[in-house]
Structure 1
Amino acid sequence: MISEITPCVLVAVPVYNEEGHIGGVLGRVSQYARDVLVVDDGSSDGTPGRLLDAARELPGLRVIRHRHNRGYGRSLRTAFTYARRAGYRWVITMDCDEQHEPESLPRFYRAIAQDDADIVSGTRYPRGFDAGGGDAAPPDRRAINRLITAQVNAQLGLGLTDAFCGFKAHRVSTLGRLGLTEDGYAFPMQLWARAAALGLRVVELPVRRIYADPNRRFGGGLDDPEARLAHYRAVLEREIAAGGAGASGAIEAPGLGAPMVSA
């Protein structure tokens, strides 16, 4: 099931307190990916122990652990830095809460092989936000996604149908040029603004819409939908005002062994 393209592809999975999902997800991912990186963002549950067990069983698994919880965007940036330093051509990011199906990885490999994109972005709404299919999204998440996707398209000239899907493939050679610095859940706002500023090629790939736990929290003030929408808009508008430019803030990952610890 592992494609001939996979030696140049890293599958990166950011996790935070996912002890209930991590073993099953990694077992499924390993059927479709040769090299897998988990970035543990300072989990305080049993996730670190589960990862140690998985690393003993899965030879292609590497682990970077943040000593403290740094945020979703920071975990992705850690993965991007690792991918660049390790010489991968592509990095595919996917979540560990069972919203993203590892069985879709071969479809990403086929899209990568077309070599006509710099970002292959999953979309859970390929036929629009009101179309059926898949699990029903929590109303606040769907509403925010609809509003932000429309704003991203209008202000950046993109044609996205889903601005927030974390199931993506990134061409590694473009990542260093983006200078990404955003640590939190507004990371996609910065990504899209800077990708548009650089003229990166974006294609979307339909993926199944899954909400195994529609009550998952964002934490802090972002659990309030109005505050979350305002935060996303503030980051997007800041990036647009800056012209999508900014100094790189990607952290350097430590050496390539497993497990690893980062600041």
Structure 2
Amino acid sequence: MSLRVLTALPVFNEERHVVDVIAEVKKYSDEILVVDDGSSDGTAELLKTIPGIHIVRHEQNQGYGAGLRTAFTYALAGQYDVLVTIDCDGQHQPALIPEMAAAVYDCPDHPADIISGSRYLKVFPGASEPPIERRRINLQITEWLNHQFSLNLTDAFCGFKAYRVDCLARLRITELGYAMPLQLWVQAAAQKMKIVEFPVPLIYLEEERSFGGSLDIAAKRLAYYQEVLDREMSSLQLAQTKKCESTPASGHRPLACCPN
């Protein structure tokens, strides 16, 4: 099966990495989209010198989630089969792009909706040690998602993913910051999307890389993540309540409407 695969990189002030990373991605992906989220360094100028890539620029910085949302919209409009997302900080291995994209349709029974990279599913030789606070927060959020939705995730935050593009139309992304993946997990789980984890190496090149502002403080970052999860769960519960109220009395109510 020949797949139309788009590889998207959300970038913000990545002049140190963007040329080298895109050069490596080009070896493994025919079509590349770079979403420049309002970079204020030399990223935009460097991107103009790279031939054969698609570029969408946000004039103002909106956030990591905004970059991914733009990539989703672009992939849907272009009617691609698979969208692969990869970060531009050099911490992912582009050589895995073809295998990850193919995994979407290699699943038994029916295709996967999301192939999600996991840095903790398998230990690769020479793997980095994650910063302690980042690992602790990842564990806490991943365990919460698993408990709430009976998922079997090992890594809730890896940006290296492959999506079956058709399923992206079912997502309503409104969280534009770093917690966007958490909103995505809640929606994907609620819609019973097929999620498969894919082992990727754990590589940290810049352990002190900034999240920006107060999010560099672990406790505030965790509070932000929890706020987004709480908000998304409230929206989900409200939607389920409305669905229950609109169900005819003589009909069978969906299981999701029956509180435990």
Q: TM-score range by the shorter chain?
A: 0.7 to 0.9
Code of the aligned partner of 1:111: A
Q: Check the 8 A contact 2:122/2:199 in 1, yes or no.
A: no
The alignment status of 1:34 with 2:30, answered yes or no, reads yes
Q: Which has the higher contact order (CA 8 A, sep 6+)?
A: 1
Find out whether 1:200 has 2:193 as its counterpart. Answer: yes
After TM superposition, the structure 1 stretch with the greater mean CA deviation from structure 2, 9-18 or 119-128, is 119-128
1:225 paired residue number? 218
* Partner residue in 1 for 2:150: 157
Unaligned runs of 5+ in 1: 247-263
- Equivalent residue for 1:124? 119
CA-to-partner distance for each residue in 1:55-109, whole Å, 9 max, x for gaps?
A: 3xxx2x1000100100000000001001100111111000000011101112213
The equivalent residue for 1:257 is: none
**Contact 2:118–2:197 (Cα < 8 Å) also in 1:** yes
Amino acid corresponding to residue 76 of structure 1 in structure 2: L
TM-score normalised according to structure 1 size? 0.86
Deviation string, structure 1 residues 145-182 (Cα, Å, up to 9, x no partner): 01000001001221100000000011111111111111
Unaligned residue ranges in structure 2 (runs of 5+): 240-260
Residue 131 of structure 2 corresponds to which residue in structure 1? 138
Does the 8 A contact of 1:121 with 1:169 survive in 2? yes
Could you say which structure has the larger radius of gyration? 2
1:95 is aligned to 2:87: yes
What SS class does the counterpart of residue 71 from structure 2 fall into?
helix
Q: Give distance in 1, aligned partners of 2:56 and 2:197.
A: 29
Matched residue, 2:206: 213
Say whether residues 1:186 and 2:179 are aligned partners: yes
2:199 maps to a residue whose letter is P
1:234 match: 227
Find the residue that maps to 1:54 and give its secondary structure. coil
Structure 1's consecutive aligned runs of 4 or more residues displaced over 2 angstroms after TM superposition are none
Q: Provide closer, same or farther for how the CA distance between residues 244 and 136 of structure 1 changes in structure 2, counting only shifts above 3 A.
A: farther
Distance 1:132 1:141 in 2: 21
How far, CA to CA, are the matches of 2:122 and 2:64 in structure 1?
A: 28
Compared CA separation, residues 5 and 26, structure 1 to 2 (3 A):
farther
Counterparts in 2 of 1:244 and 1:120: CA distance versus 1, 3 Å: farther
Decide whether the 8 Å contact of 1:37 with 1:64 is kept in 2.
Answer: yes
1:169 matched to which residue of 2? 162
Asked if 1:83 is matched to 2:75, the reply is yes
Confirm or deny that 1:105 pairs with 2:97.
Answer: yes
SS in 1 for 2:96: helix
Find the aligned partners of 2:139 and 2:71 in 1 and give their Cα distance: 28
* Structure 1 residue 113: Cα displacement: 3.1
Which of these residues, 68, 73, 80, is aligned with residue 65 of structure 2?
73
Distance, in Å, in 1 between the alignment partners of 2:48 and 2:55 is 9
Question: How far did 1:245 drift?
Answer: 7.7
Q: CA RMSD in A?
A: 1.8
1:127 CA drift (Å) = 4.8
